[in-house]
Amino acid sequence: MSESHRLVSADSHICEVEACYEQIDPKYRSERPQAANDGDIGAYMEIPNIDLKVPMGSLCRAGVPPEKWNRPVPWEELHPAGYDPKARLAIQDEEGVLAEVLYPSVGMVVCNHTDWDYKKACFDAYNRWLAEFCSTDPRRLIGIGMAAVRTIEEGIEEVEQIKAMGFQGVMLCGDPLVEDYHHPSYDPFWQACIDHGLPVNFHILTTRGDMGGAARGPAIINQIMTIRGNQNIITMMILGAVFERNPELRVIMVENDAGWIPHFGFRMDHAWERHRWWMETGAIQRKPSEYLKENVYATFQDDYSVKLVLDGLNLERVMWASDFPHGDGTYPESQEIATEMTNTMTSSQRQAILHDNAASLYQL
């Protein structure tokens, strides 16, 4: 493997099995997410009070041709690398991936649960399970802990716990309980993340509306709109002066591609330069695009448009990802796709995007 193909995936996933939630708060044991099978959708996780069967067979389908994604897959046919750390390490070796930053699958759906006490219990159980998963090889299995933040004070405690458990970042729900993320009341929480060296991660599909149903036209449009939630969050944080008040804060927009960022920066700059005199904005001192380039990271798998806008990106804030074991990922062609995505870049640019940026950000 050449030096330019040393890969770190900045966005991969585990596939929660029933054991993931066995250590949940006893109060919620009978209501914990549980495994089930359905003849039409195959393996799924059932979450009480959410009108969605999380289809694990169709969600965790790395290597399966898209035309077969609609086939029901039972639990026994799921790729074990989704929940078995030794099997995951074997896949990393097969793909030439040195390490993976790990996010949930079921947990993204739990983010949209309306009961915050239940959500907190699920996140705590998930974190305990993930810590054990990552302990098999902490150098290559990089966990991101989930925090509910029911109050700012409790959120700071969650940050401390996440750090103590050996995780390298904090994942938040797209929609908060306390105010919204641009509100100054979050500043002590952001400072706690900074003090503990934990970047803040927002994954697509964790915001109300990301799961679909709101688009006009054919249903497939909902898949295209999944990045909108993250775009809204980061716009709010930039124009709400979060980074002005917390300049050392690092936020990662996960699995929302990166080629759109230069134009998005322009749209924010245009709004700020022309309309801040009469429309509400935060007390920012620089162009919004400057905060976007400095404080915000983005991950992508096969977004070829990245190559078309290299001059408009801060390439120290862009990170490649495999998305394994999800179907939108690059398995089993991670090396080939990484080459295709970076073949117009210099060696140093390629190395930054495929390896160095994630290794530095997550202190690998």
Q: What is the pLDDT of residue 329?
A: 93
Q: What is the pLDDT of residue 214?
A: 66
| Domain boundary assignment for the chain | 3-14+83-361
Structure tokens at 342: 């970076």
Q: What is the pLDDT of residue 83?
A: 96
pLDDT greater at residue 210 or residue 131: 131
What stretches of the chain show up as alpha helix (H) in DSSP?
56-59, 85-95, 106-110, 116-134, 152-164, 187-195, 221-224, 228-239, 242-245, 261-275, 288-295, 334-342, 347-351, 357-361
8 A C-beta contact, residue 101 and residue 130:
no
pLDDT greater at residue 281 or residue 97: 97
Stretch 257-281: mean pLDDT: 94
CATH topology of domain 3-14+83-361: TIM Barrel (3.20.20)
pLDDT greater at residue 364 or residue 85: 85
Q: What is the pLDDT of residue 4?
A: 46
Q: pTM for the full model? A: 0.96
Stretch 269-298: mean pLDDT: 94
Stretch 59-69: mean pLDDT: 86
Instruction: Give the lowest-confidence range in 66-70, 229-233, 353-357.
Output: 66-70
Q: What is the pLDDT of residue 222?
A: 86
Burial class (CB in 10 A: 0-12, 13-18, 19+), 122: buried
Band (pLDDT 50/70/90 cuts) for residue 128 is: very high
Q: What is the pLDDT of residue 216?
A: 82
Structure tokens at 364: 């690998």
Band (pLDDT 50/70/90 cuts) for residue 2 is: very low
8 A C-beta contact, residue 210 and residue 229:
yes
Beta bridge partners of 276: none
Count of all residues that appear for the chain in the document: 364
